[in-house]
A and B are shown apart, each in its own frame.
Chain A
Amino acid sequence: MPTRRDFLRGAGALGAVGVSKSFFPAWMPRLAFRQASQASRGDVLVAIFLRGGIDGLSVVVPYGDGAHYYDARPTQAVAEPGSGSNAALDLDGYFGFHPAFAPLIDIYQGGALGVVHATGSIDPSRSHFDAMQFMEYGTPGSKTTGTGWIGRHLQTASWQNDSPFRAVGMGAMSPASLRGATPLSLRSIADFHLRGREGELLRAQQSLMQLYSVSAPQDALQSQAGLVFETIDLLQALNAVTYQPTNGAVYPEDEEGFGMGLRQIAQLIKANVGLEVACLDLGGWDTHENQGTHDGYFQSQLSVLAQGLSAFYADMQDLMPGVTVVTMSEFGRRVAENGSAGTDHGHGNFMLVMGGGAQGGRVYADWPTLAPEALNDGDLAITTDYRDVLAEILTHRLNNPALDQIFPNFTPTARGIVTAR
C-alpha cells in the first residue's frame, strides 16, 4: 500500500485548535492527581510483546547444541561465534546473540540485560490468537479469565494512582494484558487533541463532555471519554514536539512506530506524570517463508528491536535503575525450518529482562537441548514458565506480592533473574 507516513499529520485535516485549560471543570484532577512515590510503587514496567511468534533460536542462538541445531536449519541458522562476519556474538560459551543484537552486547556484559531461554507459556496451543491471549491473561489454557496479568497487578497494588498515564498501551488500542485496569491508548503525544472549528471548539468540547457524562461515567465508553479529556489537558503541558532524547540516544524510525513508542515512553517517564506500566508491541515475526535470518527481513526487524532497546537504555540513563523492561512472544518457532526458507509455529522461546534490577550478563536456561527426543512436538520445550520471570519482577521490582491473584493456581519458582529493590 502506498505509504503516506507523514502526509497526514499537518496536511489533510482541520487546523488543530488548542484547548484552553481554564475551560476544564473543577472535577478534573489536572496535574494534581494522587501519585504514589516510587519508593512504594517500585519500578516503571515496560512490557514489550513481540507479536507473531519470534524465532528465538535465531535470536539467542544455541550454537552449543551443534548438529541438533545446524542440521535442522540448513539455511536459517546463525553460525557459531568466531566463524565470520555473520556469526553469533558469544554470551556464555553455549548461547550467542544474533549479530543484529550487537547494540545490546555492552548492556548485557555490563549486567543490566539478562536473557531467559526455553521459556514461554506452557499451554500447547500453536494458534497465535489463543497463545497471545493465554500469555497476556497470565492464565495459560484459560480463555475466560477476562483480565490481564498487568491489569490484576494494578488492581491489587497497595498504593493509589489517579493519573490517566498510570497504564499506557502505545498504539491505537490497549493490549489484553492491561484489561482490568483503565489503560490509556496513546499513538502520538503530539497529535492527541481535539479538532474542530475555531471559535466553536470550546463549546463543542463542553457538549461532548456532557453527552458522555464524563463527570459521572457509567459505562466503558464514557470512562474512555473522561480519560481522553484528561489526557488532552495533561499532554499539552508536556511540550511533546520539542522533546529531545538525551545521551546520544537514537531511536529507530521504523514503520511500525516501535522506536517512536519507546521514545514516548521515555518522555512520559521523564515527565513524571505517574506512569507505572507501558505496553508496546513489535510485530512482524510470523516468518513462514523467506525468513531472512542473515540479511533479510528478520535481520532488519531484529535490528529495530535491538536499536530501540539500546536507545531507550541510553536515553533513560540515571533513571534506568527504576525501570524494568521485559519482552515476550506468544511462542517460538519450530526447530526444523520449513521448505520455504521459513519457520512454522513452535513452542519455547526467549525473554529479555533489562533494567536496574536485572541480574544480567548471563543466560538463564534449564536447557532441554534440541535433541530430537527432548523436543516438544518438534519444538523447543519449555523448562521455565514465563510467569516465573514475571513473578520475580512483580515481587522484587513492582512491590506487589499478590501473586495468588495475579497468577492464580500457579506457584512460581525462584530464578534469581532480578534483585529486590
Chain B
Amino acid sequence: MPTSRRDFLRFSASALIAAAAGSGYASAVAAQQGAETLPAARDPELHFLNRITYGPRPEEVERIRQIGVEAYLDEQLHPDSVDDSAMDERLRQFPILFMDRRTVHILGTDGRVWFALIRGMIERAAASRRQLYERMVEFWTDHFNVSGDDYVPDMVLMHREVIRRHALGKFRDLVIGTAQHPAMLYYLDQAYSDKEHPNENYARELLELHTLGVDGGYSEEDVKEAARALTGWTVHDGTETGFFFDAEMHDFDDKFILGHEMPEGRGIEDGLHLISIVANHPSTARFVCRKLCVRFVSDNPPESLVESAAQVFRETGGEIAPVLRHILLSAEFQASAGQKLRRPLEFFVGAIRATGTTVRDDWFYLSLLEDLAQVPYQWSPPNGYPDVAGAWLGSSSLLARWNTAMTLTHGAYSEQDTGMTTQLRQRLGSPESIGQMVDAVAAQVFGVPLPQAERAQFVAYASDGGDEQAAATPRVISDKLGTLYGLMLASPLYQWK
C-alpha cells in the first residue's frame, strides 16, 4: 500500500509552513526601501513582464513595446496561439512526461520519473514562450499541492492531465480533476476513507485549502459530513484513470453540508454534489481570487481588487482566464511594481533564463534547488509553497540565492564536471568599455537599463573602482564577467519585482 503524505513537514524548510501564513510580517516587508526607484515603477510594460514571466527576455521586451500590454496579455491568455515548437523540441529529452498511464506506472518510483517531473517543469518555465501559462501551471501546482515518494507516476499524470490541461480553463475542472486523481487520493488519504471510519484529511483540505478557505464559513461538522459524502472515492488500477467509486466503502445515509441537504441513498453523486457546492461557493471566489492577487500583485492585495476579481469569477462561473485578465489590467496591479519578492524557484528559473544555462547532470540540478529550499513537488504539507516575502527572507535563504547566482555564472570556472554550460559570452556582444559591458549584462538580467546608483556600483566592481570608459579588454571580461552577472542576480534589485 502506498504510504501517505506522512512526511508532513519533514524538510528543512518546515518552519516555512508557519512563516507562510499571516500578514503582519509580510506587510512590513512589502514596503521595501526604494520600490519607487525600481525601473519597473516607471515602466508599465516592464512591470507587466516581470510579473507574468519568469524574468523578461530581450525579445519579450521588444514584442511588448510593439503591441502593448493588452494585446500581449491576450496572446498569453491563448497559449495555443503562441508558437512553442522550440519548446516541444526540447521536451523530447523527457519522454516520461508523455507516457500513457500504464507505461509510466511500469517505471514506478524510479528516480528518472522524479527528474522528468521536476526538470520538465523547470525547463518549461525557463524556455516556453507561453510564460503566463507556465506561471499559472506553477500556481495551481501549489494550490493543489501533492507530494510523496510512492506515487510519483500519478503526480506526472496529474500534472499533465489536470493541472496543465485546465491551468487557464475552469476552476471547477481543476477541483474535480484533482479530487478524482490517484495522486491526490493517495496524498490526502482519501483512497482509504470508508463509511466505518471516514478519513477527514482530504475533505478538510478541500474546504480549507482548495475552495472556501479556512475563514470561508464552514464548521467542523461540515468537515465531517464532507468526509462522509466522499467515502468510496478511491483508486483502482483497473479503471482508465485510476479513479474508482467503491460503493461498498460509501456511506449512503443522508448528509447536511454547508446548508445543503443530501438525501439518503445516493452514491458518487454525494461527492459530485459536494464539489459543485464548494466550487460555486462565494467564499471560494474570494479565496481563489485573493490567492491569485497575492501571486500576481502584492502580498497584501487591495480588498477592492480581490472583490472585483471575485465578481468576475462568480459571473463567469469560475473561468480563470477572464479573472486573470481583470487582475492584470487593473489599476491596483499597475501600482504594485516592486512589491513582490521573487520566490526561490522564480529566482532560479529567472537566473537560468538570464544566463542561458543548461545543466546535464540531474543531481547537480537538484542540489541547486535544494539549497534554495524550493524543489518542485517536494513541499510535504498540502498548502503549497508559500507565496509571501516574509516566508523567504531568512538569512540561509538569502545566502543560498547569492551562492546559486555565483554557481550559475561560474560554470566555466568550476572544476567539477557538472555538465553545465552558460551563454554569458555569447550574449555579451562586443562591448568596448566597462560601461557597455555592464549595460549588456543588465539587458540580459533585467531587460532594461539599470538605475544610475546601481549602475555605478556594478561599474565600480567591473573596473576595480575605475570608470566606465575603461576598456573592456579580453582579460577584464575573462576576470569579471561571471561575477558581474552573479552580482546582478544576487542584488536586491533582482530579488524584488
A residues adjacent to B (C-beta < 8 A): 1-2, 4, 7-8, 11-15, 49, 51-52, 124-130, 132-133, 136-137, 143-147, 169, 171-177, 179, 183-187, 192, 194-197, 199-200, 203-204, 207-208, 210-213, 218-222, 224-225, 227-228, 231-232, 255-257, 279, 281, 283-290, 297, 337-340, 342, 344-345, 377
Note all chain B residues with C-beta closer than 8 A to A136: 18
A109 CA / B10 CA spacing, docked (Å): 31
Note all chain B residues with C-beta closer than 8 A to A279: 15
Q: Could you give, for residues 1-36 of chain B, a 1 whenever the CB lies within 8 Å of some chain A CB and a 0 otherwise?
A: 101111111111111111111111100110111100
B201 at the interface (CB under 8 A from A): yes
A176 CA / B18 CA spacing, docked (Å): 6
Across the two chains, which residue of chain A brings its CB closest to B380?
A283
Across the two chains, which residue of chain B brings its CB closest to A13?
B407
A237 CA / B9 CA spacing, docked (Å): 32
Q: How far is the CB of A277 from chain B (nearest CB, A)?
A: 14
Q: Could you give, for residues 363-395 of chain B, a 1 whenever the CB lies within 8 Å of some chain A CB and a 0 otherwise?
A: 110111011010100101101000001111111
B487 at the interface (CB under 8 A from A): yes
In this complex, which of B149, B375, B397 has the most chain A Cβ atoms within 10 angstroms of its Cβ? B397
A272 CA / B56 CA spacing, docked (Å): 47
Q: Is the CB of B214 within 8 A of A289?
A: no
B406 at the interface (CB under 8 A from A): yes
Q: A218-B34, A339-B197 are in contact. List 20 more A-B contacts (CB 8 A).
A: A8-B371, A14-B410, A128-B17, A129-B383, A143-B21, A143-B23, A146-B22, A171-B396, A172-B15, A176-B19, A196-B486, A199-B479, A200-B480, A204-B483, A213-B33, A221-B29, A232-B399, A283-B7, A285-B8, A288-B4
Instruction: Give 29 pairs: A residue, B residue, CB < 8 Å, sorted on A.
Output: A4-B366, A12-B363, A14-B410, A51-B17, A127-B208, A129-B18, A129-B381, A132-B18, A143-B22, A144-B24, A172-B12, A173-B15, A173-B391, A175-B18, A176-B19, A176-B22, A177-B18, A204-B406, A204-B487, A220-B393, A284-B9, A284-B10, A286-B381, A288-B4, A288-B189, A340-B192, A340-B193, A340-B199, A345-B204
Q: How far is the CB of A8 from chain B (nearest CB, A)?
A: 4
Across the two chains, which residue of chain A brings its CB closest to B149?
A1
Q: Is the CB of B461 within 8 A of A174?
A: no
Q: Which of A4, A129, A171 meets B13, CB within 8 Å?
A: A171
A212 CA / B21 CA spacing, docked (Å): 26
Q: Is the CB of B395 within 8 A of A186?
A: yes
Q: Which of A224, A257, A290 meets B395, CB within 8 Å?
A: A224
A174 CA / B395 CA spacing, docked (Å): 9
In this complex, which of B25, B111, B407 has the most chain A Cβ atoms within 10 angstroms of its Cβ? B25
Known A-B contacts A172-B15, A200-B480, A219-B32; A227 and B367 likewise in contact (beta carbons under 8 Å): no
The interface-forming segment of B40-48, B93-101, B412-420 is B412-420
Q: How far is the CB of B483 from chain A (nearest CB, A)?
A: 5
Across the two chains, which residue of chain A brings its CB closest to B418?
A12
Note all chain A residues with C-beta closer than 8 A to B480: 200
The interface-forming segment of B58-66, B84-92, B131-139, B489-497 is B489-497
Q: Is the CB of B114 within 8 A of A2?
A: yes
Residues facing A in B461-497 (CB within 8 A) are: 461, 464, 479-480, 482-483, 486-487, 490-493, 495-496
Across the two chains, which residue of chain A brings its CB closest to B25?
A179
Q: How far is the CB of B175 from chain A (nearest CB, A)?
A: 19
B residues adjacent to A (C-beta < 8 A): 1, 3-25, 28-29, 31-34, 111, 114-115, 149, 152, 189, 192-194, 196-201, 204, 208, 214, 220, 223, 341, 363-364, 366-368, 370-371, 373, 375, 378, 380-381, 383, 389-400, 402-403, 406-407, 410, 413-416, 418, 454, 457-458, 460-461, 464, 479-480, 482-483, 486-487, 490-493, 495-496
Q: Is the CB of A197 within 8 A of B457?
A: no
Known A-B contacts A127-B214, A129-B214, A171-B13; A221 and B393 likewise in contact (beta carbons under 8 Å): yes
Q: Is the CB of B200 within 8 A of A344?
A: yes
Q: Is the CB of B200 within 8 A of A345?
A: yes
Give the secondary structure class of B's interface: helix
Known A-B contacts A4-B366, A204-B406; A339 and B196 likewise in contact (beta carbons under 8 Å): yes
Sort A-B residue pairs by CB-CB distance and give the 6 closest, nearest first: A146-B24, A339-B197, A283-B9, A185-B394, A286-B8, A8-B367
Q: Is the CB of A220 within 8 A of B196?
A: no
Q: Is the CB of A256 within 8 A of B10?
A: yes
Q: How far is the CB of A32 from chain B (nearest CB, A)?
A: 20
Q: Which of B194, B367, B460 meets A4, CB within 8 Å?
A: B367
Q: How far is the CB of A184 from chain B (nearest CB, A)?
A: 5
Q: Is the CB of A288 within 8 A of B396?
A: no
Note all chain A residues with C-beta closer than 8 A to B198: 338-339
A177 CA / B490 CA spacing, docked (Å): 28
Across the two chains, which residue of chain A brings its CB closest to B391?
A173
Note all chain A residues with C-beta closer than 8 A to B152: 1
Q: Is the CB of B492 within 8 A of A221?
A: yes
A145 CA / B21 CA spacing, docked (Å): 12
Known A-B contacts A4-B370, A173-B396; A52 and B3 likewise in contact (beta carbons under 8 Å): no
